[in-house]
Amino acid sequence: MDLRTALTTHRMLAIVRGSDPEAALRTVLTLVDEGIALVEVSLTGADALTVIERARKTLGAGPPLGAGTVLTADDARAAHRAGADFAVTPALGEGVRTATELGMPVLAGVLTPTEIATAGALGATALKIFPAAQFGGPGYVKALRGPFPHELLVPVGGVDASAARAYLAAGATAVGVGSPLVGDAADGGDVTALRERARAFRAAVRESTP
């Protein structure tokens, strides 16, 4: 898949991490139904690989589906076997290298300028600025745009709808959104409320798109 184009076009990545595999699957499918085209299933969720497999089977060759919290080479291989289209990592390591070798584009977790440069050398497609809220917020993303004008920066961590607008205005390519969007839906919570939050986030992203 072309992760670079997908992030630039859709400008939001939903992050699903759940304690209930059935609810997590339902959450993924609901987000896609609401028009959120990029979804990541974190490997730290319950039975996450099976959730990815089942979601991929249900969605067919449609919206891209990512595996998140890919730390090790084994994580990358397992995500690839499960049918994930791309990998998301919280940091730099073997997960980045192996996913790239397997042909999976990688949204690699970084924080500092040195890590940004290293991620490029490892073959990362885009950069997950994490944890963004605890490290300068939108102002930090804007500052990174100076030395790294061509990198795809995706802040993750504490991004609500208001913060999404601010990050995109500051020059982020896209935002990664977890609990402010998903809430308790992946643990068996209210799907109707999930749909309402999805619509609110999509509106926030549309408002921030030139």
What is the per-residue pLDDT across 121-169, written as a single tens digit (0 to 9) for each?
A: 999 999 999 999 888 899 999 999 999 999 999 999 999 999 999 999 9
Catalytic residue among 22, 40, 94, 115: 40
Cβ–Cβ under 8 Å, residues 123 and 98: no
Percentage above 70 pLDDT, the chain: 100
Look over the chain and give the mean of its residue pLDDT values, rounded to a whole number.
Answer: 96
* Digit-coded pLDDT (tens) for 106-126: 999 999 999 999 999 999 999
Cβ–Cβ under 8 Å, residues 164 and 145: no
Q: Is 40 a catalytic residue?
A: yes
- Answer yes or no: CATH 3.20.20.70 is held by domain 3-207: yes
Cβ–Cβ under 8 Å, residues 204 and 164: yes
Q: Is the pLDDT of residue 89 over 90?
A: yes
Residue 209, pLDDT score: 76
Catalytic residue among 22, 57, 101, 128: 128
pTM recorded for the entire structure: 0.96
Cβ–Cβ under 8 Å, residues 154 and 129: yes
Q: Is 53 a catalytic residue?
A: no
Residue 13, pLDDT score: 98
Q: Is the pLDDT of residue 88 over 90?
A: yes
User: Which candidate, 109, 61, 50, 113, places its Cα nearest to that of 85?
Assistant: 61
Per-residue pLDDT, averaged over 52-56, amounts to 98
Residue 70, pLDDT score: 98
Interstrand relation of 126-129 and 175-177 (parallel, antiparallel or unpaired): unpaired
